[in-house]
Amino acid sequence: MYNFNSGPATLPPDVLQEAARAVVNYGDTGLSILEIPHRGALFTELLEEGNALVRELLSLNADYEVLWLQGGGRMQFSMVPMNFLGPGETAGYIDSGHWAADAIKNAAFYGNTEIIASSRNEGYRNIPRWEIIPDTLAYLHITTNNTIYGTQFFRFPETQVPLVADMSSELFSRTLDYNQFDLIYAVAQKNIGPAGVTLVVIKKSLLEKQKRELPGILSYKTIAAYNSVWNTPPVFAIYCSVLNLRRLRQTGLQAIESRNEAKARQLYEAIDGSRLFYGTAQEGDRSRMNVCFRARKPELESAFMQFAKERNITGIEGHRSVGGFRAALYNAVTPEAVTHLINVMQTFEADHTP
Ligand code: PMP
């Protein structure tokens, strides 16, 4: 199958095979990966390797903690303000799509929010342009890749206030100066591993700024003090993520970025050259991870979906809130899969346009 799902998404076949073996016998221990204790040496080693891989791949300096949490992206929408937005304080948000808007709604439970820029009125077709970012904000939150609308940040706000980034649908897809962010979070189920674990990278100085008393499970500071094993972490999801990151280290982030760039360019070129299909995101802000497009003849959309399905393509439905098509091009999606999708689009177009 050619899997273009936006998350949970495709993982490399060798990662799946190794994970399958480990379910039966983890590293010749005679134990399943599902059976090892989370405070034992085997898992401690794995977690330390995972932390080191994250640091190395993102070229993080020594100021950061790497945390493996649960509760997904939505939990981060709450944890960020719970920890860093005190009563009476104001946090800034850039409203660039569905998930960004959801993060704003969740922050309102804990303090004031100010929308620094929004592209809602443009149907989120573009990344909104920001101007002045007040230096009185508790933090500024951005969603660097908008999974549903297929837009991506290619430049980032420069600000004195802590910069928080939801990188769920793009982390490990490109080289960046990751040290410009104070807190990065990313759900695993797109570009890292299986659902059930969320990666957080946080500056140690920010950990000290927790704004209210919190139960340990909701406090970054407590979880950092316990090296992500404050409670039982999702051992298997972390294991699969480590397998994937090991593989990514062999390829290198620069090489994966070039491959991702080429895949996206090829698909956008095919869409732009098509008489039937058109891209929905504004050029210049188009995501390399989620390519959104529609048919000029809406009545042909369900026929194309069926046509693609019969040719082993899955996961190209747009999000239920926007419709149309969306192809996720995460790291594990091969260039061959993209070429196949383009061929299928062109064959369909030839059959259905005069
Ligand atoms: N942020 C982004 C950018 C997302 O794409 C998603 C989910 N698709 C979320 C947050 C929410 O993640 P979860 O479903 O794990 O809560």
pLDDT digits (tens, 9 = 90+) for 61-90: 999 999 999 999 999 999 999 999 999 999
In this predicted structure, the answer to whether residue 6 has a pLDDT above a threshold of 90 is yes
pTM of the model: 0.98
Domains and CATH numbers, the chain: 13-251 (3.40.640.10), 252-352 (3.90.1150.10)
Query: Is residue 149 a contact partner of residue 281, using CB atoms and an 8 Å limit?
Result: yes
The reply to whether ligand 1 has any atom less than 6 angstroms from the CB of 244 is no
Separation CA 14–CA 86 (nearest Å): 46
Q: How far is the CA of 163 from the centre of ligand 1 (A)?
A: 19
The reply to whether ligand 1 has any atom less than 6 angstroms from the CB of 159 is no
pLDDT > 70: percent of the chain: 100
Q: What's the pLDDT score for residue 73? A: 98
In this predicted structure, the answer to whether residue 354 has a pLDDT above a threshold of 80 is no
CA nearest 312: which of 11, 2, 13? 2
Write the DSSP assignment of 49-101 as a string of letters.
HHHHHHHHHTT--TTEEEEEESSHHHHHHHHHHHHH--TT-EEEEEE-SHHHH
Separation CA 56–CA 77 (nearest Å): 26
Our mutation pick for probing the ligand 1 site, out of 78, 93, 99, counting the most ligand atoms within 8 A of Cβ, is 99
pLDDT mean across residues, the chain: 97
Q: How far is the CA of 104 from the centre of ligand 1 (A)?
A: 14
The pLDDT of 163-192, averaged and rounded, is 98
Closest ligand 1 atom to 74 CA: 16
CB atoms within 10 A of CB 27: 13
Q: How far is the CA of 190 from the centre of ligand 1 (A)?
A: 9
Q: Which residues pair with 328 in a beta bridge?
A: 290
In this structure, the residue with its CA closest to atom 7 of ligand 1 is: 73
pLDDT > 90: percent of the chain: 99
Q: List residues with catalytic annotation.
A: 99, 166, 190
Lowest-pLDDT range, 211-215, 272-276, 289-293, 318-322? Answer: 318-322
pLDDT tens digits, residue range 241-257?
999 999 999 999 999 99
In this predicted structure, the answer to whether residue 167 has a pLDDT above a threshold of 80 is yes
Tokens of 136: 């009185």
Q: What's the pLDDT score for residue 340? A: 98
Q: What's the pLDDT score for residue 353? A: 79
